[in-house]
Amino acid sequence: MTTRRITLEDFAKNKTLSEHTRRSKEVARALDAKAAALPYARTFTSVQFEEFVTELTPKRFELLRLAFKRRRSIVDLATASHRDQSAVSRDVAKLQKLGLVTVELVANPGHGQMKIVTPVATRIAIDASLEAA
């Protein structure tokens, strides 16, 4: 078995690696500048956090996981989750409002348009402090 080294050229050629590098540099610059907020991170107040936790139901979390595996349409998500398409559409709208997914309208040849759902992050982390502010 031969091993191949990853080069900077590989990062330039690959869209995913290139985007990851660009975003990582933005975060590093913000950390160096001791910025109050980091790019690609959200900070919630206690009220927003309560709403967030309430809105992120197990069924919506399942939709996030399914969309993370690959870009999917609302119909694909409904089929994969064994749920009604209108219920999935409402849940995707909630996830979009929470800032967890983007929804892109794309042409569906012969059928008009379809909505493609893409998660905005690969990870959700919660760091809660119980100390008084």
Same domain, 22 and 61: no
pLDDT surpasses 70 at 133 = no
Domain limits at 14?
Answer: 9-41
Same domain, 34 and 85: no
For residues 117 and 73, the answer to whether their CB atoms sit within 8 Å is yes
Same domain, 60 and 102: yes
| Average pLDDT score over residue span 13-18 | 78
Note the pLDDT tens digit of each residue in 38-89.
777 766 666 677 788 888 899 999 999 999 888 899 999 999 999 999 999 9
Number of domains in the chain: 2
Same domain, 61 and 85: yes
Q: Has residue 97 been placed in a domain?
A: yes
Q: Supply the pTM of this predicted model.
A: 0.66
Q: Has residue 13 been placed in a domain?
A: yes
Number of H helices, E strands in the chain: 6, 3
Q: Has residue 129 been placed in a domain?
A: no
pLDDT of residue 81: 96
| Average pLDDT score over residue span 15-38 | 83
